[in-house]
Amino acid sequence: MRRLLIAGNWKMNCGPYDAAELLEGLKAKKAEVDEHVDVLVCPPFVSIGMAVKYLYDTDIQVGAQNLHFEENGAFTGEISGSMLAESGCNYVIIGHSERRQYFGETDETVNRRTQKALKHKLAPIICVGESLKQRKAGDHYDLVKDQIKAALNGINEEQVLDVVIAYEPIWAIGTGETATPGQAQEMHEYIRKILAGLYNQETADSVNILYGGSMKPANAQELLSQPDVDGGLIGGASLDADSFSEIITIAEDLA
């Protein structure tokens, strides 16, 4: 049985001082989480240590927003999987649309980062999704299929059980727009079919597929009630302790 996963992606927000304030608020509201729900926050690199410190005695885990595909070396400004694992991370976001759009992330580098994450026992949250133009052109299914197949190239059946897929309709990120629950379910169901084709149905049924397009308290229940929506990759709402904890509570009620 899949557990709901509520993941907060802080993006480029909250240095250590602001992180401490946010974490204090979150800890006060949700230090304990229902056993059927997983919760994590993914701060900027400079605030990971603060998050690990504040959350060590809670049920909330810590993840990162990216990692490099090399172990070490002359890669100024980059962070390796071993560094993240040593810092206390359990998850890492890979291939977010903003990384693809602004920083040259490709399907190939997503695959390399995924393999490196798995090597260091970090659960990769692989982001896939289409732009509004691609959806209107009817290319969204083929695009998502190609992204998933490329990301999972060389990943075996045992390894993929530690992978999380996050569907992010790019047209709904930071715009206030949200895919309808029906649209979200339709794509999530399709992603599960892709996984079944790459592996088998039992494996596909074990992989968490998150919705990553402007989930907030007002729409979380409808989205999380869909049979193939296994949680959310939360952006803006994760920067507010009240909103994020409310989404967690909604997930707990549904679990």
Any idea which residues carry the catalytic annotation?
96, 168
Calculate the CA dihedral of residues 230, 95, 76, 12 and round it to 10 degrees: -60
Q: What are phi and psi of 120, to 5 degrees?
A: -100, 20
Bridge partner list, 208: 164
Q: Length of the chain in residues, anyone?
A: 255
The Cβ-side half-sphere exposure at 85, using a 13 Å CA radius, reads: 14
Tokens 């979150």 — which residue?
26
Which residue in 193, 76, 93, 215 sits closest to 151, CA to CA? Answer: 93
Assign 3-state DSSP to the chain and report helix, strand, coil percentages, each to 5. Answer: 50, 15, 35
The token pair at 35 is 């056993």
Q: Helix or strand or coil: residue 253?
A: helix
Nearest C-alpha neighbor of 125 from the set 63, 39, 189, 206: 63
